[in-house]
Structure 1
Amino acid sequence: MLYSLLFTLVLAGSASTQESTRFQAVPDELPIYQVLRTNEGIQVDGRLDEADWQNAAPIAFVMPWSDLEKEEPQSTTARLLWDDDNLYIIYECVDPYLHSEVTEHDGAVYQEDAVEIFATPNMEVPGNYYGYEMNINGTLLDYIAFRGGKERTKAIHPSWQSEGVVIATTYDGTLNDHSDTDQSWILEISIPHDNFRHLGGQIPPQDGDQWRAGLNRTKGYQGQFGLWSDTGTPKADFHRANRFGILTFSAAAVGR
Structure 2
Amino acid sequence: MNYIKLFCSISFLLVFNFCYAQNHFKGYENLFTIPANYVVPYASKAPTIDGDINDEVWLNTPWSDRFQDIEGDAKPKPYYDTRVKMLWDESYLYIAAELKDPHVWATLTKRDEIVFFDNDFEVFIDPLNTAHNYFEIEVNAYNNIFDLFMHKPYRSGGAALFSWDTQGMQHAVKVQGTINNPNDTDTGWTVEMAIPFRALTLGNAINVPKDKDVWRINFSRVQWETDIVNGKYVKRKDSAGKVLPENNWVWSPQGVIDMHRPERWGYLFFSKNKAGEKQPQFVLPYTEKQRQYLWLVYYKQQDYRRAHQRYATSFAELKMDKPEFDIDNKRNKIELSSTGRRFEVSIKDTSGKKIYLNEEGLITK
Shorter-chain TM range is 0.7 to 0.9
Tell me the alpha carbon deviations over residues 66-112 of structure 1, each in whole angstroms, 9 at most, x when there is no partner: 534xxx72110100100111110011001122121211110111111
- Amino acid aligned to 2:99: C
Question: In structure 2, the residue corresponding to 1:242 is in which secondary structure?
Answer: helix
The question of whether the paired residues in 2 share the 8 Å contact of 1:27 and 1:230 is answered with: no
Tell me the alpha carbon deviations over residues 233-254 of structure 1, each in whole angstroms, 9 at most, x when there is no partner: 1xx3322212111111111111
Change beyond 3 A, Cα 1:93–1:152:
farther
Unaligned 5+ runs, structure 2 = 1-29, 227-245, 278-365
- Amino acid aligned to 2:122: E
1:68-83 aligned at under 5 Å gives the runs 68=77, 73-83=79-89
Give the match for residue 254 of structure 1: 275
Cα separation, 2, equivalents of 1:155 and 1:143: 10
The question of whether the paired residues in 2 share the 8 Å contact of 1:122 and 1:201 is answered with: no
- Amino acid aligned to 1:154: G
Question: In structure 1, the residue corresponding to 2:220 is in which secondary structure?
Answer: strand
Q: CA deviation at 1:26?
A: 6.5
The question of whether the paired residues in 1 share the 8 Å contact of 2:137 and 2:146 is answered with: yes
Cα separation, 1, equivalents of 2:160 and 2:177: 34
The question of whether the paired residues in 2 share the 8 Å contact of 1:97 and 1:221 is answered with: no
Give the match for residue 230 of structure 1: 253
- Amino acid aligned to 2:276: G
The question of whether the paired residues in 1 share the 8 Å contact of 2:122 and 2:137 is answered with: yes
Change beyond 3 A, Cα 1:201–1:215:
farther
Corresponding position: 1:156 with 2:160: yes
- Amino acid aligned to 1:245: G
Q: CA deviation at 1:219?
A: 1.2
Change beyond 3 A, Cα 1:221–1:169:
farther
Which of 46, 58, 69 is residue 63 of structure 1 equivalent to? 69
Cα separation, 1, equivalents of 2:38 and 2:205: 18
Q: CA deviation at 1:27?
A: 6.5
Q: CA deviation at 1:42?
A: 1.0
Identity of aligned residues (%): 27
The question of whether the paired residues in 2 share the 8 Å contact of 1:86 and 1:193 is answered with: yes
Question: In structure 2, the residue corresponding to 1:218 is in which secondary structure?
Answer: strand
- Amino acid aligned to 1:47: D
Question: In structure 2, the residue corresponding to 1:194 is in which secondary structure?
Answer: helix
Corresponding position: 1:44 with 2:55: no
- Amino acid aligned to 1:182: D
Q: Higher relative contact order by CA 8 Å / sep ≥ 6: 1 or 2?
A: 1
Give the match for residue 215 of structure 1: 219
- Amino acid aligned to 1:86: Y
Question: In structure 1, the residue corresponding to 2:69 is in which secondary structure?
Answer: coil
Q: Which has the higher helix share?
A: 2
Which of 255, 258, 261 is residue 240 of structure 1 equivalent to? 261
Change beyond 3 A, Cα 1:220–1:29:
same
The question of whether the paired residues in 2 share the 8 Å contact of 1:115 and 1:216 is answered with: yes
The question of whether the paired residues in 1 share the 8 Å contact of 2:126 and 2:262 is answered with: no
Cα separation, 2, equivalents of 1:230 and 1:152: 21
Which of 87, 95, 99 is residue 89 of structure 1 equivalent to? 95
Aligned-pair RMSD on alpha carbons? 2.3
Question: In structure 1, the residue corresponding to 2:211 is in which secondary structure?
Answer: coil
- Amino acid aligned to 2:179: L
Cα separation, 2, equivalents of 1:153 and 1:32: 29
| TM-score normalised over the length of structure 1 | 0.80
Tell me the alpha carbon deviations over residues 106-127 of structure 1, each in whole angstroms, 9 at most, x when there is no partner: 011111121111102112x123
Tell me the alpha carbon deviations over residues 145-202 of structure 1, each in whole angstroms, 9 at most, x when there is no partner: 13229x4773211111221111111112221233443221001111111011117997
Unaligned 5+ runs, structure 1 = 1-24
Structure 1 runs, 4 residues or longer, greater than 4 Å off: 199-202
Question: In structure 1, the residue corresponding to 2:223 is in which secondary structure?
Answer: coil
Give the match for residue 16 of structure 1: none
1:41-190 aligned at under 5 Å gives the runs 41-59=46-64, 60-64=66-70, 67-68=76-77, 73-123=79-129, 125-148=130-153, 151=155, 154-190=158-194
Question: In structure 2, the residue corresponding to 1:52 is in which secondary structure?
Answer: helix
The question of whether the paired residues in 1 share the 8 Å contact of 2:92 and 2:195 is answered with: yes
Cα separation, 2, equivalents of 1:255 and 1:95: 29
Cα separation, 2, equivalents of 1:152 and 1:99: 35
